[in-house]
Chains A and B, each alone.
Chain A
Amino acid sequence: DAKTTQPNSMESNEEEPVHLPCNHSTISGTDYIHWYRQLPSQGPEYVIHGLTSNVNNRMASLAIAEDRKSSTLILHRATLRDAAVYYCILRDLRNNNAGNMLTFGGGTRLMVKP
């Protein structure tokens, strides 16, 4: 199964953009890239997902490298409420069972300084 690699932690200043990287060098052509985040004392929260093209929604943007071996979650203006663990997860379109379970790695703990 394709795996993801993320930095253990990152720091950001409030109101500045944050770029959270994810490496997935063994990604297959049918793997969707999903991002979730987990705020303290809460369950994970879906952020965004994409396949090949960059994606934007009200929470964040997802930039996917042309070779798809890496991706970056972009928070345009970090707030204190964005302090959380961010998980990058691959979901395989081909495998209807494995693709329907989320395999969480260690994620990136984002700390936001006021």
Chain B
Amino acid sequence: KAGVTQTPRYLIKTRGQQVTLSCSPISGHRSVSWYQQTPGQGLQFLFEYFSETQRNKGNFPGRFSGRQFSNSRSEMNVSTLELGDSALYLCASSLVRGVDYGYTFGSGTRLTVV
């Protein structure tokens, strides 16, 4: 079966611009989470969506936002890009919410802000 699909794989943007990243979870998975990975901070949780509702949010500024659609696909948006937003953005999906389940991650979108 298809895994978690993230598009685009690579992106170059200029400071001040905004960007939208897309994530298609595994079919049937309803929980989608987003993570940011940088060499300095490692992997950090951004937000979690379930049934089109944001259930949890990490410690990131309001420039970072997301949403989930009725088919469980999710998008995240970063407005007014800063150089420090350059990172690998990872999406993960799970069948349901619950600590007795594992997450499946996509390969990520590599964002470079110049």
Contact = CB atoms under 8 A, between A and B. Distances in A.
Interface of A: 32, 34, 36, 41-46, 49, 87, 91-93, 96-106
A91 B90 contact: no
Contacts of B102: 34, 36, 46, 49
Contact of B99 (A46, A87, A93, A106): A93
A48 B35 CA distance: 20
Nearest to B102: A46
B8 to A, nearest CB: 15
Interface in B11-40: 31, 33, 35
Interface string B52-77: 00011010000000000000000000
Contacts of A100: 31, 33, 48, 55-56, 97-99
Contacts of A44: 43, 90, 92, 103, 105
A54 to B, nearest CB: 16
Contacts of A106: 42
Contacts of B105: 42-45
Contact of B100 (A32, A36, A42): A32
Interface residues of B, number: 25
A80 B71 CA distance: 38
Of B35, B43, B56, B103, chain A has the most CB atoms within 10 Å of the CB of B43
Contacts of B45: 101-103
A96 B97 contact: yes
20 contacts: A32-B99, A32-B100, A42-B105, A44-B43, A44-B90, A46-B102, A92-B99, A96-B97, A97-B55, A100-B31, A100-B33, A100-B48, A100-B55, A100-B99, A101-B56, A102-B35, A102-B45, A103-B45, A104-B35, A104-B42
